[in-house]
Every structure is written in C-alpha cells, then in structure tokens.
Amino acid sequence: MSSKPIRLNKHLALSLGISRREADEYIQRGRVHINGEIAQLGNSVLPESEITVDGKPLPGSTKLEYVALHKPVGYVCSRKAQGDNPTIYSLLPASMSHLKPVGRLDKDSSGILLLTNDGDFAHRMTHPSFQKTKSYIVQLDKPLEPLHQQMISDYGVEIGDGPSKLHLERTDDTRHEWRITMHEGRNRQIRRTFLALGYTVTSLHRLTFGSYTLNNLTPGTYAATVKR
C-alpha cells in the first residue's frame, strides 16, 4: 500500500481481486473492519491500518498485476484439481496464486486466458455491456450444413438460457473448421450452440480476448501484460 491514505474500496478491490462495486457491498454488509471498528463507505486506510474481512486479515497484493496464459487442453480454471485434471495454477509460480482468471476456458479448451487481481478490469473484460470481442478456432465432428451456418449467424440458436448468435467464418473446404467471433461469454456457449444442432465440438482454441492475443506464447507458458 502507498504511504498515503487510500480509499478502502480501492484497497479491497486490489487485495481481493474484486470490483470496487463489490468492495462497497462488502463494506455495506458490515463484513469489513478497520482497526477493530466496522468500516463505513468512503473510509480511507493507511499502511499501518489493520483490515479484516469476515474476521480474517486482508490477504493479497495491492500492486495491479495482469498475466496472459496460453492454457493447454486438460487444465481446469480453478484453484483445486478436479480428479486427474490439474489446475492452471500448476503452470504459474506460487507468487501468482492470488490472481483470478478473467472469465473461463473449460478443461477441453485451449488458448489465451487472462489473470489479474484488478476486479474492475475483470468486470470490464467480462460484463456483456462492454462487448469485448473474443475469437476462436473450432473443429466439428462433421461438416456444418449451410442451413445451420445461417441459423447460427443470422438468427441464433436456442440453448436453454436464451438464443446464441455467433459470427462464423469457414477456414477450410471441409466445413469442419470455423473461426468464431462473439461478444457474449455464457457457460460453454459455443459447445452448447453446436450441440443443439447435433454437432460435437472436438477442438476449441481461443485466439483473442478483446485486444489481447497469445503472440508467441507456447502452450503452458505465460507472460506479464499491461491493461489496455
């Protein structure tokens, strides 16, 4: 923390990897104490202030950090391994264990994954209102019928939590491989969209997330990046 006073909600956001709005909710609910006293909205804190959340000392770093990881297939975006599937944190040094994924890639997907302790940045990258473009290369188990291509691109396909509309570009003559561009980020949206029409996605690789790309990162490697 700086030697100067800092707004409590900003300090909470940096330390916990949440947005300032979420930090304000923590304060409003009485979950935060400063030097043993219940914190109030608008409070500022000093380096020597003792801050607790739900009775526990505030963890984490107050330095904003941004990391781009080339997630390989087979890794889960959680802090605990799921069965035989390792976690993405096994690819990162222990000093980065406090960083949180910005969105998710499922176990069977690969590509660019951002991690940060900046909750406001994560909110701007993932909330639908900011319409961050993401692009993917997808392989299907069989050729995509032209009619189904039109349905997905022009009308959208119902997948249970609303229609899913994706922009498709063919990348080969077999109609098995497609480049997909989308602004949403619903859970397993691409896989569910094709499944609703009788297709199985056999490979899903994220190329870009907003203005971020993998550049020269190889699978399983990472690099510090900057907020854009």
Catalytic annotation present for 106: yes
State residue 96 phi and psi, 5-degree precision: -105, 10
Say how far apart CA 68 and CA 217 lie, in whole Å: 9
Of 106, 108, 172, 173, which residue is the catalytic one?
106
Say how far apart CA 19 and CA 16 lie, in whole Å: 9
Determine how many CB atoms are found less than 10 A away from the CB of residue 198: 10
Q: DSSP per residue over 57-86, as a string?
A: E--S-SS--EEEEEEPTT-BSSSS-BTTBP
Alpha helix (H) residue ranges in the chain: 8-16, 20-28, 119-126, 146-150, 189-195
Handedness of CA 8, 14, 17, 18 (dihedral sign): positive
Catalytic residues: 106
